[in-house]
Amino acid sequence: MIGLGGRIIARLWRRSNDWLADHLAAMMATMGMFWVLVGLTWGSVILSRPKGAQGWDLFLVSIFFQGAALPVLGYISNKQGDRMVAMLKETHDATMQELAEIKALRAEVDDINEDTDAIRKQEGIGDGR
């Protein structure tokens, strides 16, 4: 059984991991990081040139594309997330506007029903409905 101190430490550990992951992900998912990685990758070619077609293929596929793909995929994911948030906000706003209109219509219907009930009672028609 974990005591209170253990739970506090576990919660702090999770919070610090979440904070670090959020900030690393935000930093890695930028086009600036893409260009840094492209520069580092091609800079390594100056120090150690691949030999032959197979060496260049391995360099391009395993080093360049894999290294450059991470920031680009993160950047695209962030852009898609921003679009999704905007779409959800727009949908929410439209739904809330429609709900307000429905409530207004319901209030009008209730008023009409009350007026109709009052007229029926005055004229002695039915039970008011």
Q: Which residue has the tokens 């009052």?
A: 118
| 26 located within any domain | yes
Q: What average pLDDT does the segment 2-19 reach?
A: 85
- Count other C-beta atoms under 10 Å from residue 120's C-beta: 14
CB neighbour list of residue 53: distance below 8 Å, 6 or more residues apart: none
| 12 located within any domain | yes
Question: How far is residue 78 CA from its own chain's centroid?
Answer: 8
Sign, CA dihedral 108-113-118-123, equals positive
| 63 located within any domain | yes
Parent domain of 107: 4-123
Q: Please report, as a single letter, which amino acid is at residue 22.
A: D
| 129 located within any domain | no
- Tell me the C-alpha distance between 7 and 71, whole Å: 35
| 10 located within any domain | yes
pLDDT tens for 82-120 read: 899 999 999 999 999 999 999 999 999 999 999 999 998
| 50 located within any domain | yes
**How many structural domains does the chain have?**
1
pLDDT tens for 21-75 read: 888 888 888 888 888 888 888 888 888 888 888 888 888 887 777 777 778 888 8
| 128 located within any domain | no
CB neighbour list of residue 31: distance below 8 Å, 6 or more residues apart: 71, 72, 75
| 119 located within any domain | yes
